[in-house]
Amino acid sequence: MKNKINLILILTLLLAFPFFAQEDQHSTEIESSVPELFEFHEVIYPIWHTAYPEKNYGMLKEMVTDVNSGAEKIYSAELPGILRDKKEEWDKGVAKFRASVEEYNKAMQGTDEPEMLSAAEVLHSDYEMLVRIIRPVTKEVDEFHKVLYMIYHHYWPNRNKEELSKAIDDLDMRAGELANCVLPKWASDKAEPFAEQSQKLYESTKNLKTLKDSDADDAQIEKAIEDVHDNYVALEGLFG
C-alpha cells in the first residue's frame, strides 16, 4: 500500500513538472525588474553618498573601472516581457546614461574638480531616471499589471478559460486596491488625474468581471479586455 502511494506521488509530481516550469517562466516574465540596473546601485551608492559629498576626487577616479563594468551590463540588459511597452523610453534613457558615463570617464582623466563633481551628479541623475522608468509608481499598480499581463498576453490569446476566469476575479480585487492606493510624494502632483483614471480602470475591470460571470460571448470578452488594457495604458501614461 505504501509503495502504491509513493508511486502515485511520483507520477503526480512528474505530471505537474511542466506546469511548475511554465509558472517559473511567467514569474520571471512579469517581474518589473532589470537585475543589471540594480547591481549598478552598488557602484553609484559610494559615488553619490561618500565620494561626492566628501569631495573625494581620488575615490571618484578609482570608481571609473566599476562604473564602466556596471554600465556595460546595463547597455546589454533586456527588459522582461511585462516592461515591453517601456522599451522606447528605456532605450532613450540608456542612451542618455551612456553619454553621462562617457562624460564621467572624460572628467576623471583631468584635474578640473568642479567638472568631476558635475559628472558624478549627472551620472547619478541619469541612473535614477532609468530606475524610475521601470519602477512601478505604486505596489498596487504593479500587482494589477502583473495579472493584466497574463490575461492579455497568455490566457486570452491561448483561450485558457480556466486560468482566465481566475485571473479576472483577481484583477477585480486588484482594481479595488489600486483605486484606493496613495501615490508616493514624487508623483503627488498627478493625484487628481490618477484618481480619475484609476476609477475608469476600476469600472472597466468590473464590467469585464460581470461579462465573464454572465458567460458573455468571446467578442464581448475581448472588447472588455481591450478596454481594461487601454485604461491601464492611459494610467501608466500619466507618469511617462
State the pLDDT at residue 239: 84
User: Nearest to residue 136, comparing CAs of 202, 184, 68?
Assistant: 184
Residue 240 has pLDDT above 80, yes or no: no
What residues contact residue 73 under an 8 Å CB cut-off, 6+ apart?
36, 39, 40
**76-115: pLDDT as tens digits:** 999 988 888 889 999 999 999 999 999 999 999 999 999 9
SS (H, E, C) the chain: CHHHHHHHHHHHHHHHHHHHHHHHHHHHHCCCCCHHHHHCHHHHHHHHHHHHHHCCHHHHHHCHHHHHHHHHHHHCCCCCHHHHHHHHHHHHHHHHHHHHHHHHHHHHCCCCHHHHHHHHHHHHHHHHHHHHHHCCCCHHHHHHHHHHHHHHHHHCCCCCHHHHHHHHHHHHHHHHHHHCCCCCHHHHHHHHHHHHHHHHHHHHHHHHHHHHHCCCCHHHHHHHHHHHHHHHHHHHHCCC
Q: Could you tell me the pLDDT band of residue 14, with boundaries at 50, 70 and 90?
A: very low
Can you give the pTM of this predicted structure? 0.74
Residue 19 has pLDDT above 60, yes or no: no
pLDDT at 61: 98
Say which residue, 161 or 14, is predicted with more confidence.
161
In this prediction, residue 13 has a pLDDT band, given cuts at 50, 70 and 90, of very low
pLDDT at residue 180 above 90? yes
User: Does pLDDT of 158 surpass 60?
Assistant: yes
Closest CA to 232 of 32, 68, 85, 52: 85
Q: What is the mean pLDDT of the chain?
A: 89
Give exposure, 12-50, as e/b (b: 16+ Cβ within 10 Å): eeeeeeeeeeeeeebeebbebebebbeebeebbebbbee
State yes or no: pLDDT of 235 exceeds 70. yes
Amino acid, single-letter form, for residue 229:
H
- 22-81 pLDDT, tens digit per residue, is 444 556 688 878 999 999 999 999 999 999 999 999 999 999 999 999 999 999 999 988
Q: What is the pLDDT of residue 18?
A: 45
